[in-house]
Chain A
Amino acid sequence: MRFLPILFTGITMLLSAAEPQPKAFPYAYQQHDFPNGLRLITVPTDYPNVVALYIVVQTGSRNEIEPGKSGFAHFFEHVMFRGTKNTPPGVYEKALKQMGAASNASTWDDRTIYHTAFSKEDLELIVRLEADRFQNLSYPEDVFRTEALAVLGEYNKSSADPSEKLNEVLYDTAFDKHTYKHTTIGFLKDIEDMPNQYAYSKTFFDRWYRPEYTTIIVVGDVSEAVTKPLVQKYWSQWQHGSYKADIPREPAHTKARRNHVDWPTDTLPMVVVAHRNSGYLDDVTDHAALDLIGQLGFSQNSDLYRKLVIEEQIVDSLGFSNFDNFDPNLFQVMARVKKPADMPRVEKEILAALETFRNTPVSAEKLEAVKQHFRYEFALRLNNSEAIASTLAHYVSLRRTPETINRIFERYAQVTPAELQRIARKYFVENERTTVTLTSKTKQ
């Protein structure tokens, strides 16, 4: 969940700098706001028959402000499949099955997304079923308690993976006040307590499952002339809410932090060096510049990758992340090292590479290659209606409009070598650094 693809990047056509930039999001779309605050975005495509319906709710683990409730947004995603008075779970499943629909959901720091792909003739039924569960969700306590165990099963299934643990410890170390301190799945002790939180689940639903936090995205063989009346018919009775959460701000840190994970079984050592980043911003260049630095410094074609992975072969995996988060999160560089003895050296190399961005401007040519990479990567990503809907859902969870894609790509285009250097100096500061290492107990 934490390691979602972050770099939604690029545009479909390349033009020289003298020509006006085409829109990064190449599809015409319609956006409509209903009086209750619900937003509908319709994107007709040329892909025949199939329609993808994505419902974005702007609540995620960031919204879990009360102690002991980490992981609740994700748990609630599970509960949303537990039916209504009109449509018990069996009936819902049967209807989806008859449609041959693929339906699922995902939760992350800042949002929860429910998605279904189906044939266009089933659009009304899907819109109706979704409207029903968003407005009339109803589940008995015994069912709720059983579902909590499935979440524990979800934690268990990934628990053999040390990168999950590394991630959990990184965020717990890097944040004191902000809710990014916990991962989306939540702390194990909170997961184990979930069966006892039936009453809280009603509060959670009442607070966050409201039209003003929700956007419906419909992509594929459709038009707004079809989608708008259907959404009007089934969703307009939904009541606007009144709750606003006060998400705590993370104060400035006064010194660098460090933590270590002892992994019980054989694994390769790992190191992650993280700095507080800007969060997703489409009106200034900070976030765009950090994305570009990540690619320049730590992707497959970076100098560091060449040195450590290809030439010296002491690292088998090197990468970075600068996720699109609502609030400032972490710019991370992660390496998996072949021998424990090389760990200090690799950490130093990562720090040195970050330092270089502060001190030396990159070549304009290299910067242009990354911008080009972003544009083509984005274009190649949009290769079916579901992919378009899922890409849009990601951005809509941040700014509630596809326009933000065009804006972030304008920011990429604006970044110069001097701007990169300014941003590197602003964010790669020692006080805001968190380093976590992981080594196997069996190999020490």
Chain B
Amino acid sequence: MTLRTTFMALLTATSLIAGKTIAQPGKSPLITFRVVFQTGAASDPKGKEGIASLTAAMLSDGGSKKMSYQQRIDALFPMAASINWNVDKEMTAFSAETHLDNLEKFYAIFREALLDPGWREDDLRRLKDDMINGLRISLRGNNDEELGKEVLYSTIYKGHPYEHHNVGRVAAIQSITLADLQQFYKANYTAANITIAVAGGYPADFVSRMEKDFAALPKGKSVKLKLPAPSAVKGRHLVLVEKQTRSVAFSFGFPISVKRGDPNFVPLLVAQSWLGQHRNSGVRLFDRIREKRGLNYGDYAYIEYFPQGMYRFEPEPNLARQQQIFQIWIRPVQPPTAHFALRLGIFELERLVREGMSEDDVAQTKNFLSKYVNLLTKTKSAELGYLIDSQFYGIPDYNSYLKSALSKVTRDEVNRAIRKHLTPQNMIIAVIGQNTAKLRDAIVQETASPMKYNSPKPDDILAEDKLVEKLKLNIPAASANIIKAETLFE
């Protein structure tokens, strides 16, 4: 069905080097594109945070030399096609899908968008507004859950190239000029940094034509970003974001030195999946916090960056990073139960580290993951995206990689990985809420937080609550800071 085997052979020979093409010819009349540059927000120069995103936006949502943005919209509209962009720390992805009927017309627009940007002042003005409103309004104002996650990331990566939001900082975005963008484009959008991926029933010579066209980019050098290690988190630190809002959202975690391809990745993935597989109701945190106690809508755990989790069931591909964090996401809770909910989340994490996973739980989770992985690549676009990520990490295609590793991983390896990498005693806790001073004081003073329920609870839950309600969180006052929401991302 695909050229997977050819690609696999290629990977074995030259994994990790960008600049390769992934071609999957097939019968489908839907042609899928993914063009990825190995550059991103971690390459934003100091003072110009946002330049990687603004560059990608100018290519995708601005005009080319030949066509204004409006002309492009008009041309793409009858084809129902669009060019989507996404910038993460180390990757910039452009994706699109078109019907075979329109392939040549669409490709001409796609090629010009990426290779001949128009660099117009009016596009820049509009896209800066979009990005600033995205940070101030859509994220900081209207989405407490995503805000909690981003505050957690930026706190963990303080002083590190990963610190600022992928979209940048308001003042920096305002200062970016067309010349800045052109310079960034020239240095980073290079042949050495590019991976082209195409799938579908395209003509035989299509991919080689595309390769030839994109060879017009400056040659450049494929250099993987050298990143410092994030500062070690010592003890527990509370960051409370004060804003007017109904409920209290939590995200907490710490950096981990594990990514895809590392020996401990799959063992840790098993633990994470058991503890809190995203949007999955059979998992531990969900069961204890929502299902048994009704504290909120859901509770999950992650070992890789997963933005927009409130809208998505599966993560976007092409968010590959050299460094990742472990995090737990407690969805918004009613303010009177906030302290208890935080304690319960930490209680479950501490229990996992203390007791590890049972043989049965490991076996079931391995089985689950080995089937669930198929759903991650159910569309061609996702399949291509995962293949590009596998290049980045130097592993075979994700399905084969995961299935093969899962078949070998043992309970001991899982529990060793848990003990080695999960450090609940050292972590950052991000809180979004109102009247956070009260919550901070209660946490710092280790005030008891007994639960009251609207229905009788089984004895085991009540007994557990007695432990949870006075669980010591060990956060000194000096490590519990309140910041005002309006100061974030400025």
Interface residues of A (CB under 8 A from B): 10, 12-14, 49-50, 81, 89, 93-94, 96-104, 117-119, 141-150, 152-154, 156-157, 159-163, 195, 264-268, 299-301, 306, 309-311, 313, 316, 338, 369-370, 372-377, 379-380, 383-384, 386-387
The residue among A147, A374, A376 with the most chain B CB atoms within 10 A of its own CB is A376
With A157-B310, A383-B380 as contacts: A267 and B141 at CB distance below 8 Å: yes
Pick from B41-49, B129-137, B188-196, B318-326 the stretch touching chain A. B129-137
The answer to whether B294 touches A310, judged by C-beta atoms less than 8 angstroms apart, is no
The answer to whether A195 touches B372, judged by C-beta atoms less than 8 angstroms apart, is no
Pick from B71-79, B228-236, B422-430, B467-475 the stretch touching chain A. B71-79
The answer to whether A104 touches B279, judged by C-beta atoms less than 8 angstroms apart, is yes
Contact of B293 among A104, A119, A146, A375 (CB under 8 A): A146
The answer to whether A379 touches B125, judged by C-beta atoms less than 8 angstroms apart, is no
Chain B residue numbers with a CB within 8 Å of A147 are 294
Give the size range of B's interface with the partner: 35 or more
Q: Is the interface of A mostly helix, strand, loop or mixed?
A: helix
Flag B72-97 by CB within 8 Å of A: 1 or 0 each: 01100111110000000000000001
The answer to whether A153 touches B292, judged by C-beta atoms less than 8 angstroms apart, is no
Cβ distance B486 to chain A, nearest Cβ, rounded Å: 7
Closest Cβ neighbor of A159 among chain B residues: B246
Say yes or no for B367: interface residue by CB 8 A criterion.
yes
The answer to whether B292 touches A146, judged by C-beta atoms less than 8 angstroms apart, is yes
Given A309-B126, A338-B129, A387-B379, list of 18 further CB < 8 A pairs? A98-B367, A100-B369, A100-B372, A142-B457, A146-B293, A153-B294, A156-B297, A156-B334, A157-B145, A157-B296, A157-B297, A268-B133, A310-B70, A310-B126, A373-B77, A373-B78, A376-B78, A377-B80
The answer to whether B143 touches A268, judged by C-beta atoms less than 8 angstroms apart, is no
Inter-chain CA distance A212–B133, complex, in Å, is 48
The answer to whether A98 touches B364, judged by C-beta atoms less than 8 angstroms apart, is yes
Flag B379-390 by CB within 8 Å of A: 1 or 0 each: 110000000000
The answer to whether A159 touches B245, judged by C-beta atoms less than 8 angstroms apart, is yes
The answer to whether B143 touches A161, judged by C-beta atoms less than 8 angstroms apart, is yes
The residue among B78, B130, B292, B375 with the most chain A CB atoms within 10 A of its own CB is B78
Cβ distance A196 to chain B, nearest Cβ, rounded Å: 9
Say yes or no for B336: interface residue by CB 8 A criterion.
no
The residue among B80, B141, B373, B486 with the most chain A CB atoms within 10 A of its own CB is B80
Chain B residue numbers with a CB within 8 Å of A49 are 374
The answer to whether B379 touches A379, judged by C-beta atoms less than 8 angstroms apart, is no
The answer to whether A93 touches B282, judged by C-beta atoms less than 8 angstroms apart, is yes
Chain B residue numbers with a CB within 8 Å of A372 are 78-79
The answer to whether A369 touches B371, judged by C-beta atoms less than 8 angstroms apart, is no
The answer to whether B454 touches A386, judged by C-beta atoms less than 8 angstroms apart, is no
The answer to whether B80 touches A10, judged by C-beta atoms less than 8 angstroms apart, is yes
Cβ distance A370 to chain B, nearest Cβ, rounded Å: 8
Chain B residue numbers with a CB within 8 Å of A369 are 77-78
Say yes or no for B69: interface residue by CB 8 A criterion.
yes
The answer to whether A159 touches B142, judged by C-beta atoms less than 8 angstroms apart, is no
With A100-B374, A384-B378 as contacts: A195 and B296 at CB distance below 8 Å: no
Cβ distance A27 to chain B, nearest Cβ, rounded Å: 14
